[in-house]
Amino acid sequence: MILCLALFLDLMGYAEEKSALSLAESISTFGFSLFQQVQKSDENVLFSPYSIFSCVSMAYVGAAGKTAEEMQQTLALKLKQNVVGSAFSSLESTFIPSTVHMANALWTDQDTFFLSDFLHVAERQMGAKVASVDFSDSANVVSQINQWVENATDRHILTLVEEDDIDSSTRMVLTNALFFQGVWQKGFDAAETKETSFWKDENSSVSTSMMHQQEQFLYGEDEEMQWIALPFQKEGEKELDLLILLPKNRTGWQEKKNQLSARLIDTYLTKSKMELVALSLPRFCIELSYDLKAPLQSLGMKSAFTDEANFSKINGMQDLFLNKTLHKTFFSLDEKGVTAASATAASMNIKSALGKEPPKPFLADHPFFFLLIEKKSKTPLFLGLLTNP
């Protein structure tokens, strides 16, 4: 009996991990699809696929009919709707370290009734705060939401919504906040940081503070691209890396941006190996915000934002629709590590011995892509493009 119980628990654990990995794959696919929608010019890009996916998924578990079908397609979900909540719980508990803090909240009209099944998923499995508010008192609701976001992101994001984002016709606002503060396994010496040029294109440049170090990193390259994974201090088996994709041509990002995909990232990681690298990386800090309604609609999530929306699994009726899906991100990288936050709506290792081969040069003095990912599940927490530090 004890053996059977142990086997049953092992099978449960395998199933939970499998669903968590499937969810991570969906987050990655969704993130790269969304990147194509929000990257429209030569400006910096920064958003959290993990944060946005979590936020939208909270609404998805309450959707039905055509609305649910469109949302499932947009989110690239392979899991059944009734296991998405538990998959999120498994993903966070199994793979995501405590240096990543995420919170969900659902703000609804004060007369909205919630079905117990939806509340169980939103509150128990996805950790959402459910708040009933009076949207006609927009100033008060805005204050509540922004105070929640400020607390959840350790004051790195102070304002997510404005008064004109909410009015008496608003029926639901979904918010998610994510905060990360990580220390490099191999930090940079601030004394080595020098002012140098960062080339926005072949002819124009800006001055930036360039950090330098020579160390062993997971590295790879092909004819068009170099990539490197910078590890953060681990928490047990949970490990985060900052993956940097550097086109060899100063303007190579313009062509490569349309090729980014989860499969391409897998290929890069598979082709990587530990190498001695002479790394030069700029310090930078980015803060950006997005209204995600149009990008999500372009990805196929159309009816959720209209009167045709069907969120009947939330309250048993079809009187709810998404009015605003807002996203704001903050990302700061320096010699010690990364501080990052988003809102939607340390161990010490022994250094590897230096080899006899000359170091691989990695000079990030022109636009590059970067991803903050959980190493095992390859969950993308943040995805960005730096065109101007």
348 pLDDT more than 70: no
279 and 319 part of one domain: no
Q: Is the domain of 259 the same as that of 311?
A: no
Q: Provide the domain count of the chain.
A: 2
Q: What is the pLDDT of residue 354?
A: 41
Please check whether residue 8 lies inside any domain of the structure. Answer: no
CATH of the domain at 365: 2.30.39.10
Residues 145 and 233 in one domain: no
Instruction: Pick the range with the lowest mean pLDDT from 28-37, 69-78, 94-103.
Output: 94-103
- Is 91:49 a contact under the CB 8 Å cutoff? no
pLDDT at position 307 over 80 = yes
How wide is the angle at C-alpha 229 spanned by C-alphas 228 and 233, nearest 5°?
Answer: 150
CB 253 within 8 A of CB 364: no
CATH number of 302's domain: 3.30.497.10
Q: Give the CA distances from residue 161 to residues 2, 269, 322, 338, in Å, rounded to whole numbers and listed in that order.
A: 54, 37, 15, 25
Same domain (yes/no): 148, 248: no
Q: Are residues 60 and 89 in the same domain?
A: yes
Looking at the structure, tell me whether residues 274 and 207 fall in a common domain. yes
Per the structure, the complete domain to which residue 242 belongs is given by 183-285+338-386
Model pTM score: 0.88
Q: How many CB atoms lie within 10 A of CB 272?
A: 17
- Range of lowest pLDDT (158-167, 182-191, 275-284, 328-337): 158-167
Q: How far apart, in whole angstroms, are the C-alpha atoms of residue 144 and residue 146? A: 6
**Token reading at 266:** 């897998």
Verify that 31 and 173 share a domain, yes or no.
yes
Q: What is the DSSP letter of 377?
A: T
Cα–Cα distance measured from residue 54 to residue 156, given in angstroms and rounded to the nearest whole number = 20
Q: Per-residue pLDDT for 39 more than 70?
A: yes
**Over 60: is that where the pLDDT of 7 sits?**
no
Q: For residue 103, how many C-alpha atoms fall within 13 Å in the half-sphere facing its CB?
A: 15
Tokens 């639901």, located at residue: 172
pLDDT tens across 41-56, in order? Answer: 788 889 999 999 998 9
- Helices then strands, each counted (H, E), the chain: 10, 15
Smallest Cα–Cα separation from 275: which of 354, 213, 376, 351? 354
Q: Which two tokens stand for residue 274?
A: 């530990």
* Higher-confidence position of 262 and 343: 262
Is a pLDDT exceeding 80 seen at residue 154?
Answer: yes
CA distance linking residue 355 with residue 4, whole number of Å: 51
Mean pLDDT of all residues in 164-169: 80
Note the helical H segments in the chain.
2-38, 49-60, 65-74, 84-94, 116-119, 138-152, 253-256, 262-270, 293-298, 312-315
Task: Indicate whether 348 and 219 sit together in one domain.
Answer: yes
What tokens appear for 124 in the block?
């128990």
User: What share of the chain in percent tops pLDDT 90?
Assistant: 32
For position 345, what pLDDT does the model report?
Answer: 56
Same domain, 295 and 366: no
Q: 272 and 297 in one domain?
A: no
- Does one domain contain both 266 and 363? yes
Q: Which of 280, 371, 365, 295 is nearest to 326 (CA)?
A: 295
Evaluate whether residue 317 is within a structural domain.
Answer: yes
Q: Tens of pLDDT along 198-225?
A: 998 888 889 999 999 999 999 999 889 9
The reported pLDDT for the residue numbered 147 is 93
What residues are paired with 194 via a beta bridge? 210
pLDDT of residue 14: 55
Span 85-124, pLDDT tens digits: 989 888 888 888 888 888 888 887 787 778 888 888 888 8
Same-domain check for residues 154 and 196: no
